[in-house]
């Protein structure tokens, strides 16, 4: 990975302050330090400054023509296997180590959040399907599509049980935090060749038209709309914890009023940030909870 020169406070120039150093030093938003370093380096990369504007233009234009194609032939192209082979190939060869770290972490973080909710809702038993990729071969196993399907199936199965048993969302006591990982996840060392330059947002913008083309129209729209379930999952967690403060960190909201698919790439980055901050809240709870499920003073 790149060095942390941009995050070195000793290099601070009061006449030209680095915004990413300010964001890194600020502790108002809970987030894993490894994630925060990777995100700040990613934000300050040359790829963001020089490649992302061009890629964004190409992406929106391409999506427009694919949208027209899918309007007339919504199910003509449906190959999740081909899509994920392209994604795995592209991530391995062109995406930066920091961006790959953020992508891989997201699946682990998201899986642990769903496991936490499923385990700690009183009166229900919901089976989850954790996605915890270790290398690029795991990406080929329909990783991104399964992530979206898991989220919707989780919401449906959880609320079906609550309605069938006439229950309200309520957390168990004591809380079970066994599934929450405070440290690093199990990943490979990501490639760092001269071609591995794409930042996170550029990579997502570049891959989104492929996602749109190789999936059916329903699959792509569902994937885009799933981002707004950030608010839903955040509310579930707040009802279990009894602490709604983290809801202010959620930007993808209003799942009953879907947003346009053209904004999916940017909202996907916000989705990743929301997952990381909620996971950081859960890590903090795990580190400061006693055997009775009560938060101890910090």
pLDDT number for residue 73: 93
How many Å apart are CA 73 and CA 85, to the nearest integer?
23
- Asked if residues 280 and 32 have their Cβ atoms less than 8 Å apart, the reply is yes
Rounded distance between C-alpha atoms, residue 3 and residue 86, angstroms? 29
- Digit-coded pLDDT (tens) for 179-237: 999 989 999 999 999 999 999 999 999 999 999 999 999 999 999 999 999 999 999 99
Other CB atoms within a 10 A radius of the CB of residue 10 amount to 4
Q: What dihedral angle (degrees, nearest 10) is formed by the CA atoms of 238, 31, 190, 207?
A: 60
Q: Is 237 helix (H, G, I), strand (E, B) or coil?
A: helix
pTM: 0.93
For residue 4, report the phi and psi dihedrals to the nearest 5 degrees. Answer: -100, 35
The whole-angstrom separation of Cα 118 and Cα 121 is 6
* pLDDT one-digit tens code per residue, 16-47: 888 899 999 999 999 999 999 999 999 999 99
Assess if residue 261 is contained within a domain.
yes
- Kindly state whether residue 16 falls inside one of the protein's structural domains: no
pLDDT at 3 over 50: no
The tokens of 279 are what? Answer: 């996971």
Q: Which domain holds residue 167?
A: 5-10+33-287
Q: What is the pLDDT of residue 1?
A: 41
- For residue 171, the cross-strand partners are 121
Q: Is residue 27 part of a domain?
A: no
**Do 216 and 74 form a contact (C-beta atoms < 8 A)?**
yes
Whether residue 182 is contained in a domain is answered as yes
- Domain assignment present for 138: yes
pLDDT at 2 over 70: no
Whether 199 and 52 have beta carbons less than 8 Å apart is answered as yes
Q: What is the dihedral of CA 47, 50, 273, 207, to 10 degrees?
A: -70
What domain count does the chain have? 1
pLDDT at residue 292, rounded to an integer: 55
Considering the domain boundaries, does residue 163 fall inside one?
Answer: yes
Determine phi and psi for 9, rounding to 5 degrees. -65, -25
Q: Quick check: is 20 in a domain?
A: no
| Cβ contact 60:262 at 8 Å | yes
49-58, 117-126, 189-198, 237-246: lowest mean pLDDT where?
Answer: 237-246
Residue 124 lies in a domain: yes
């Amino acid at each position: 990975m790149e060095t942390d020169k941009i995050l070195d406070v000793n290099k601070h120039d009061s006449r030209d302050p680095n915004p990413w150093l300010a964001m890194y030093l600020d502790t108002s938003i809970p987030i894993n330090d490894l994630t925060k370093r990777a995100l700040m380096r990613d934000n300050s990369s040359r790829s963001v400054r020089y490649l992302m504007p061009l890629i964004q233009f190409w992406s929106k234009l391409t999506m427009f023509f694919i949208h027209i194609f899918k309007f007339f032939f919504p199910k003509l192209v449906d190959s999740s296997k081909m899509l994920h082979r392209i994604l795995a190939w592209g991530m391995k060869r062109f995406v930066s180590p920091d961006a790959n770290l953020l992508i891989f972490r997201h699946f682990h973080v998201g899986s642990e959040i769903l496991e936490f909710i499923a385990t700690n809702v009183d009166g229900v038993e919901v089976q989850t399907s954790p996605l915890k990729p270790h290398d690029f071969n795991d990406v080929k196993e329909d990783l991104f599509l399964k992530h979206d399907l898991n989220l919707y199936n989780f919401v449906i199965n959880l609320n079906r049980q609550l309605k069938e048993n006439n229950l309200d969302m309520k957390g168990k006591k004591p809380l079970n935090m066994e599934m929450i990982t405070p440290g690093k996840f199990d990943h490979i060392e990501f490639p760092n060749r001269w071609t591995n330059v794409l930042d996170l947002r550029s990579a997502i913008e570049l891959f989104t038209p492929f996602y749109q083309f190789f999936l059916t129209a329903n699959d792509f729209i569902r994937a885009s709309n799933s981002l707004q379930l950030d608010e839903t999952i955040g509310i579930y967690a707040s009802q279990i914890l009894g602490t709604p403060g983290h809801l202010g960190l959620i930007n993808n909201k209003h799942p009953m009023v879907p947003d346009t698919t053209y904004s999916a790439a940017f909202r996907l980055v916000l989705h990743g940030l929301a997952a990381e901050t909620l996971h950081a809240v859960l890590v903090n709870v795990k580190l400061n909870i006693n055997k009775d499920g009560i938060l101890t003073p910090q």
